Amino acid sequence: MSPDQLEQLSQRTLAHYQQRAEEFFVGTVNHDVSQNIAALLEYIEAPAPYLILDLGCGPGRDLKTFREFGHTAIGLEGCERFAEMARAYSSCEVWQQDFLKLDLPALHFDGVYANASLFHVPSQVLARVLSELHATLKENGVLFSSNPRGNNEEGWNQERYAAYHDLENWRAYMNAAGFAELTHFYRPAGLPRERQLWLASVWRKV
């Protein structure tokens, strides 16, 4: 895709969330993602409290949880309405940035929490985005990701662009960006594998 096509892709996806922000908040605010949050926090080796980047923080549900746990969490969100809602709901700082135009400080965060967000990044630019996340982590920092899994297909799902990686493909991208795998698991917990539609994984910067 050309730069203009990538820009249009991003704006179309963000517009989908902008138009449905309140509906999305109501539908997700009570989702139990405690397993994901615990998976990130378990592997951070820095002294607490941690400095965490919530990448694609949406309306702020998990930002609020990190703050209540005593950590300093900063949200990053491309959707303007989500960013506004996240600031109000979590009382945390939120940066409005497009995933394809990240502007992140170097060696800054103990952890990056990417819950249901990185799957919106086209494979064409995924290596660059992961390298930017690698650079913003402190030495030995930790990245958590959770993405809907698939067979490495990508394209439009209604008005959202999405890429559906399997474990081996995701590993290849993460390893190439300088991350070492710590663990992975499938969600929701307790269901047969064919009904576990989400692949969660934890990685250390090396």
Q: Give me the CATH number covering residue 162.
A: 3.40.50.150
Give me the residues paired with residue 179 across strands.
Answer: 205
126: its two tokens? 């995924």
Query: Which range of residues forms the domain containing residue 60?
Result: 3-205
What pLDDT score was predicted for residue 89? 97
What pLDDT score was predicted for residue 62? 98
Radius of gyration for the chain, computed over Cα atoms and rounded to the nearest angstrom: 16
How many Å apart are CA 74 and CA 76, to the nearest integer? 7
Chain centroid to CA 24: how far?
A: 16
What pLDDT score was predicted for residue 124? 97
What pLDDT score was predicted for residue 114? 98
pLDDT (tens, 9 = 90+) of the chain, 206 residues, equals: 999 999 999 999 999 999 999 999 999 999 999 999 999 999 999 999 999 999 999 999 999 999 999 999 999 999 999 999 999 999 999 999 999 999 999 999 999 999 999 999 999 999 999 999 999 999 999 999 999 999 999 999 989 999 999 999 999 999 999 999 999 999 999 999 999 999 999 999 99
- How far apart, in Å, are the Cα atoms of 44 and each of 52, 139, 141, 144, 167? 10, 11, 7, 10, 22
Total of domains in the chain: 1
67: its two tokens? 């703050």
How many Å apart are CA 51 and CA 66, to the nearest integer? 10
Name the nearest CA neighbour of 126 among 76, 201, 176: 176
* H runs (alpha helix) in the chain: 3-19, 21-28, 34-43, 61-68, 80-90, 123-136, 167-176
User: Rounded to the nearest 10 degrees, what angle do helices 80-90 and 61-68 cross at?
Assistant: 30
Say what the alpha-carbon torsion angle 163, 161, 10, 176 is, to the nearest 10 degrees.
0
How many Å apart are CA 86 and CA 145, to the nearest integer? 20
